[in-house]
Amino acid sequence: MYIILLAFAAAITALACILLRSYRAVSMAAMAGAVVTFVLALAAVAAWFGYFPVGYAGLKFDGFGAVILALIATVQLFAVAAGIPYIKDELEEGTITLMQARLYGALIPLFVISMAIAVSANSLGLMWIAIEATTLATTMLVAFYTKGGSLEAAWKYILVCSAGIAIGLIGVMLFYYAVYLAGNGADVTSVTWSGLLAAAKTLPPAVVKLAFVFIFIGFGTKVGIVPMHTWLPDAHGRTPSPVSGMLSGVLLSVALLIIYRAKVVVDAVLGSPAWSNNFFIFFGALSVATPVCFMIKQKNYKRLLAYSSIEHMGLAVFSLGFGPAGVVFAMIEVIGHAFLKSALFFGTGNILLAYKSTKFEKVSGVARHLPRLAVLFTVALVMLLAVPPSPLFFSELGVFSLGFAAHPYVSAVVLLALVLAAGSFFMNFMPMLFVSHEHAAPEHYTKEHWNAVHTVMVAALVLAVGFGLALLVGPGQDMISRIISII
């Protein structure tokens, strides 16, 4: 029921943003839609926890899905709040037109509802359609500025992701074929995540394993798993900063959830997680280690954050290869990353508006010219590097405890990659924030005033710290335990 209401709210918000003729009205409609989406999504999550009645048709939650939906609800609210002044400034400077601003307002709710349906869909067909819808909506956001670089990034994005989703569709069709071979060919309702689990003992293992491989490769493209990651730095680097925060903060996690659900099915069919764990450990380690090669000498701060997202998703994938405890640590990693990385991308929006560049060499003295932003940005950076009480500290401590016990050499490589990534952050961001150069000063400097981006970053940091501290006390541990019991 709540997801259906979410769809209606998204449609009304998108239509209002297209039809309204002033940016003030568009921004009010977008903010109202974001608040309604936030409330309805959290109501759906509360329903999963048993606080409200649940009545979904073809929709289903699990623990991981409920967490991801809560993240979608929160990050989209932050993104819309941060995006309103961001788009207003670009509109006033003539960077974009009013029509582009209206289109931006319409695409955001469509992007959000597509993700919400993808994480709550029990039907594999509905899930695939929703993931494809996220690609269509975000392609236009990647191409938002209609310049050469943006159009090139959008072309790469839709080409690579559509190819990946097509491969994922083959995996979905193979699951249908597995159900058919098991004697349930006429029972279409069995081709759902819950139906596949219920029929696991009757499904042919060879077909299910092949289906999993196609889903892992196909939807792994949306996660940014190496070597299917090539679209991600360009897309994150070219989109408006609030959208970059949503792409990195929640879209990658939505696709990761689908791969995890496929893993649960193949593990049930095979009677053991050993076979699928190998995929997660190998490709997770590869996805952590590879981005470091591009991070050390990176010249673009948004692309650096994008490569960092590949690394963090790689760590979550790596963690999923270590059984139920690994799933919990992956979930903690996803939650912490959603809050902290989205906050950093929102902050880059203010830096870009002030300096008119995403190049490190053209940005310096942020702490001098934008002191409030510099403080928040630095705190988010430090917490992203897993300094306590960041939730990433607990997730990484946990996964390495598991990793060094089972695969010490691979875990050592992953740990070394994380250390080098942390070094690349300090080497690139610290001079940008705290060293001033005359040739890299803001183009149109005005005294910094507190704005919506600062508020959103504070809220994201409070949530991240609060979650990290909650992991140390009883209620937080009880919540995690309840999710584990149903995962």
Q: Which of 186-195, 280-289, 353-362, 426-435 has the lowest mean pLDDT?
A: 186-195
The count of residues in the chain is 487
273 CB neighbour count, 10 Å cutoff: 20
Q: Is the pLDDT of residue 60 over 70?
A: no
| Gap between the Cα atoms of 258 and 274, Å rounded | 19
Residue in this structure with the two tokens 């003729």, named with its chain if needed? 21
Instruction: Please state the rounded mean pLDDT for residues 261-288.
Output: 94
Predicted local distance difference test score (pLDDT) of residue 480: 58
Rounded mean pLDDT of 206-229? Answer: 94
- Distance from the Cα of residue 28 to its chain's centroid: 25
Reply yes or no on whether the pLDDT at 63 is more than 80: no
Joined together, the tokens standing for residue 410 give: 């691979």
List the domain boundaries for the chain: 273-487
In the numeric block, which tokens belong to residue 222? 């949306």
pLDDT at 314 over 90: yes
Phi, then psi, of 407 in degrees rounded to 5: -135, 75
Alpha-carbon distance 211 to 218, whole Å? 10
Per the CB < 8 A criterion, the answer to whether 184 and 190 are in contact is: yes
**Beta partners for 121?**
59
Closest CA to 118 of 252, 317, 15: 252
Locus of tokens 């509802």 = 113
Distance of CA 427 to the CA centre of its chain: 25
Q: Is 460 left (phi over 0), alpha (psi -120 to 50) or beta?
A: alpha
Q: Which stretch of 150-154, 182-186, 210-214, 302-306 has the lowest confidence by average pLDDT?
A: 182-186
Q: Please give the full DSSP string across 209-265, using - where no structure is assigned.
A: HHHHHHHHHHHHHHHT-TTS-TTHHHHHHHS-HHHHHHIIIIIHHHHHHHHHHHHHH
Residue 364 has pLDDT above 60, yes or no: yes
What is the predicted pLDDT for the residue at 482?
57
Cut 0.75: pTM above it: yes
pLDDT at 215: 96
Residue 47 has pLDDT above 80, yes or no: no
User: What is the predicted pLDDT for the residue at 52?
Assistant: 44
In the prediction, which pLDDT does 439 show? 61
Q: Tell me, what's the pLDDT at 44? A: 81
pLDDT confidence of 485, banded at 50, 70, 90? low
